[in-house]
Chains A and B, each alone.
Chain A
């Protein structure tokens, strides 16, 4: 029951954020969400409801902006607006800041560059993080298994295969961490996939492969940070190597490295900003295109920076919530 309410608040938070651009609708939904949160004191400790509340607060801010735009700035058909509104409108529209803003974002629908760019940035980041975690876990497991098992395995085929992959992973880590990500991106786009024009796939591959190397070292560090006694306890109960890792070591290691992994995700959001090198129109490139059209650098670049900052702040906040919950389970 308690859980259902928290999920309801989360869903309403998401919906109100989605509709926040609709003047009025988003505001009503968001306030309703906050009321739900305020009334149900029991769900306060639940992370889902806290996320819902924060989304609702963001939705309210966006709604106020859209309401402000519609009421004050948008020229309505006919001329029945009250005089004070018209004078407020002209007072705002006559400032240099507004004309700059209007020119950069509203004229010819230029905000679309930022919006679409943001979508591409998210798409590339999420897919690359998934690829990075998959690669990272595999590489970390190969490397730490070899370290643990090289004494236990008595030669033979299995050990040879493991040793081969151990070396391969070592080369991967050295090469990827030893070269700049922009160079890797360009090599993948201009050399390896020279015939393909799927820029998103190329960016996902480049950033995923790059991130995998860092994730691997993070996870390996996490596995090594777990007390050896945990491993011995698992083995002494009769679990084999794989099951000990799965049930005992990895859950603890994951918890230990979660902040570092989340940090890697946040780094990756910002890192994708170099995708413009291969012509992918993500957020930074979007701002850059606006700059090249309007010949004004301040507005688009500051807007891009602010958007990155808000995203990073939001995800950092999410991570701190998650960390808090993981800590709770240990107490």
Chain B
């Protein structure tokens, strides 16, 4: 399908055990994520999809297996994980904006401290990104003054301010009021259309079908089925996926 050099993240036989193997959060996950793909990970609670996502930038340290990012083994002792994380933006379920900093400072602190951007450049870039999500008038507000949907949009552009190669979304709409889900999904959709490589753990099946280029269904720490959204939703093969879709659709 695609050439190997398009692969950004390559995951091989990823395992994450707790209590010495008693609990298997990830039990041998293997997949490749290619440039420009929007990979949507779905599955029941406890299926390991969040653990999988959080392993990609080592917020969870896997028990076994390998992850390579742009050809570098991210678990090798010689790898500077902080450098790699700068290229992997992450958006959390609970936004995790920094409450003691203004919106603008939330977005400029990492580019200024890590990329050495001047204050003017960082501010200009942040205002640019804020305009893209329609929140430029909130630049000097504090996170507690924003609604959930606004916070999540800020969290997305905060990650984008570092110019990441990949964006990881960990259930970005699960903590939102229903009427705010749309505004966040719109931003994500625009991002996907702009060609960003994305990995999303989500329960939004509409988003998976409409925006995803590939859907991964996980259960019990394994990838059960992996296919285009069309195939997954109209022609599911595995019976666990069939019963899952019956419940959520």
Which residues of A are at the interface with B, using a C-beta cutoff of 8 A? Answer: 151-152, 154, 227, 229-230, 232-240, 243, 247-248, 251-252, 255, 329-331
Structural contact, A248 and B82, CB atoms closer than 8 A = no
Structural contact, A255 and B100, CB atoms closer than 8 A = yes
Q: Which residues of A contact B159 (CB under 8 A)?
A: 236-237
Query: 26 interchain pairs (CB within 8 A)?
Result: A154-B77, A229-B92, A232-B96, A233-B92, A235-B59, A235-B85, A236-B57, A236-B59, A236-B85, A236-B88, A236-B92, A236-B168, A237-B85, A237-B86, A237-B158, A238-B110, A239-B82, A239-B114, A243-B113, A247-B109, A252-B98, A252-B100, A329-B100, A330-B99, A330-B142, A331-B145
Number of A-B residue pairs with CB-CB distance less than 8 Å in the complex they form: 69
Query: Is B247 an interface residue when CB atoms closer than 8 A count as contact?
Result: no
Which residues of B are at the interface with A, using a C-beta cutoff of 8 A? Answer: 57, 59, 61, 77, 82-83, 85-86, 88-90, 92, 94, 96-100, 109-110, 113-114, 142, 144-145, 158-159, 162, 168
- Least CB distance, A278 to chain B, in whole angstroms: 42
Q: Which residues of A contact B88 (CB under 8 A)?
A: 236
Structural contact, B59 and A232, CB atoms closer than 8 A = yes
Structural contact, A238 and B144, CB atoms closer than 8 A = no
Q: Which chain B residue shows the least CB distance to A328?
A: B142
Give the complex CA separation of A122 and B111 in angstroms.
44
Q: Which residues of B contact A255 (CB under 8 A)?
A: 100
Q: Which residues of A contact B158 (CB under 8 A)?
A: 237
- Least CB distance, A144 to chain B, in whole angstroms: 18
Known contacts A240-B82, A331-B142; 16 further A-B pairs (Cβ under 8 A): A227-B94, A230-B96, A233-B92, A235-B85, A236-B57, A237-B86, A237-B114, A237-B162, A238-B82, A238-B114, A243-B113, A252-B98, A252-B99, A330-B99, A330-B142, A331-B144
Q: Which residues of B contact A240 (CB under 8 A)?
A: 82
In the complex, which of the residues A229, A238, A239 contacts B96, with contact meaning CB atoms closer than 8 Å?
A229
Q: Which residues of B contact A330 (CB under 8 A)?
A: 99-100, 142, 144
Give the complex CA separation of A261 and B145 in angstroms.
28
Q: Which residues of B contact A154 (CB under 8 A)?
A: 77
Known: A238-B83, A238-B110. A251 touches B61 (CB 8 A): no
Known: A235-B85, A239-B113. A251 touches B100 (CB 8 A): yes
Known: A152-B61, A238-B110, A331-B144. A233 touches B82 (CB 8 A): no
Q: Which residues of B contact A236 (CB under 8 A)?
A: 57, 59, 85, 88-90, 92, 159, 168
- Least CB distance, A244 to chain B, in whole angstroms: 10
Q: Which residues of A contact B82 (CB under 8 A)?
A: 235, 238-240
Identify which of A227, A235, A237, A329 gathers the most chain B CB atoms within 10 Å of its CB. A237
Q: Which residues of B contact A229 (CB under 8 A)?
A: 92, 94, 96
Give the complex CA separation of A234 and B86 in angstroms.
10
Q: Which chain B residue shows the least CB distance to A326?
A: B100
Q: Which chain B residue shows the least CB distance to A244?
A: B82
Q: Which residues of A contact B145 (CB under 8 A)?
A: 331
- Least CB distance, A148 to chain B, in whole angstroms: 12
Structural contact, B142 and A247, CB atoms closer than 8 A = no
Q: Which residues of A contact B114 (CB under 8 A)?
A: 237-239
Q: Which residues of A contact B89 (CB under 8 A)?
A: 236
Q: Which chain A residue shows the least CB distance to B99?
A: A330
Give the complex CA separation of A230 and B97 in angstroms.
7
Q: Which residues of A contact B57 (CB under 8 A)?
A: 236
- Least CB distance, A146 to chain B, in whole angstroms: 17
Q: Which residues of B contact A329 (CB under 8 A)?
A: 100, 142
- Least CB distance, B159 to chain A, in whole angstroms: 7
Give the complex CA separation of A248 and B98 in angstroms.
7
Give the complex CA separation of A252 and B96 in angstroms.
13
Q: Which residues of B contact A251 (CB under 8 A)?
A: 100
Q: Which chain B residue shows the least CB distance to A231?
A: B96
Q: Which residues of B contact A227 (CB under 8 A)?
A: 94, 96
- Report, nearest first, the 3 A-B pairs whose CB atoms are least far apart: A238-B86, A233-B96, A236-B90
Q: Which residues of A contact B86 (CB under 8 A)?
A: 237-238
In the complex, which of the residues B59, B85, B94 contacts A238, with contact meaning CB atoms closer than 8 Å?
B85
